[in-house]
Chain A
Amino acid sequence: LAKTTQPISMDSYEGQEVNITCSHNNIATNDYITWYQQFPSQGPRFIIQGYKTKVTNEVASLFIPADRKSSTLSLPRVSLSDTAVYYCLVGKNMYSGGGADGLTFGKGTHLIIQP
């Protein structure tokens, strides 16, 4: 699976839009991208997932350029409760030839939102 690289930490303020970028230079054709959020002492929680272009749901947007070597998680108008660690994962499509492998996490990005 493609290795992912994210900033270790980021700071922002309430009401701002926050963009966290993940690099995955070795992403393969059948790979997809998923972002998770984790609060202290809790298990990670799914945020958003995509393969290319733009995906939007009720909490975030995911931007994936044409070459798919990076992806950007966009959180609109953050609040203090968005302070958490955010992980970018690359996974192999389960229906692709050869099946999928176990999903691995990197160290994530610690996002701190200030008043």
Chain B
Amino acid sequence: DADVTQTPRNRITKTGKRIMLECSQTKGHDRMYWYRQDPGLGLRLIYYSFDVKDINKGEISDGYSVSRQAQAKFSLSLESAIPNQTALYFCATSDSGDRGYEKLFFGSGTQLSVL
């Protein structure tokens, strides 16, 4: 979805380096998510944020941190990257609609390789 922009699209880094993945959205949604996908596996939730002052850990938050700088921006950081963090990372926003059912809108993903 072009309204959810992830940068960079691809990144190669070395073990031990600090790296930040950025996500911005123009949808005006309060909720934002970071997911990780490994080959052949589904998406796993890293962190999610329901508004600027609310940050929650997901299934696999160890080794990651996030920052919600504004409603439109949600960044994911790897403080000291390790090879098993090599994966495809997705940012998403959600809209609750009238009935309270969330609908996720995803960015194009960031392919991260840690050597």
Q: Which residues of A are in contact with B by a Cβ distance under 8 Å?
A: 32, 34, 36, 41-46, 49, 51, 85, 87, 91, 93-96, 99-100, 102-108
Chain B interface main SS type: strand
A94 touches B42 (CB 8 A): no
Contact A105 B100 (CB under 8 A): no
- Are A104 and B106 in touch, CB under 8 angstroms? no
Segment touching A, from B14-22, B76-84, B86-94: B86-94
B74 within 8 A of A: no
| Residue in B33, B107, B111 whose CB lies within 8 Å of A102 | B33
Shortest distance in angstroms between A84's beta carbon and chain B's nearest beta carbon?
13
Interface residues on B, range: 20 to 34
Q: Which of A51, A102, A105 has the most CB of B within 10 A?
A: A102
Q: Closest Cβ of chain A: how far from B17's Cβ, in Å?
A: 24
User: Separation in Å of the A47 CB from the closest CB of chain B?
Assistant: 10
In the bound assembly, the distance between CA atoms of A108 and B44 in angstroms comes to 12
**Residue pair B109, A93 in contact (C-beta under 8 Å):** no
**Known contacts A104-B59, A105-B35; A46 and B109 CB within 8 A of each other:** no
Pull 5 A–B residue pairs with CB atoms less than 8 Å apart, ordered by A.
A32-B101, A44-B104, A44-B106, A51-B99, A95-B100
Q: Does B103 contact A (CB under 8 A)?
A: yes
CB contact under 8 A between A91 and B109, given known A103-B45, A106-B42:
no
Quote the shortest CB–CB distance from A55 to chain B (angstroms): 11
Top 5 A-B pairs, shortest CB-CB distance: A43-B106, A95-B100, A102-B48, A94-B100, A93-B100
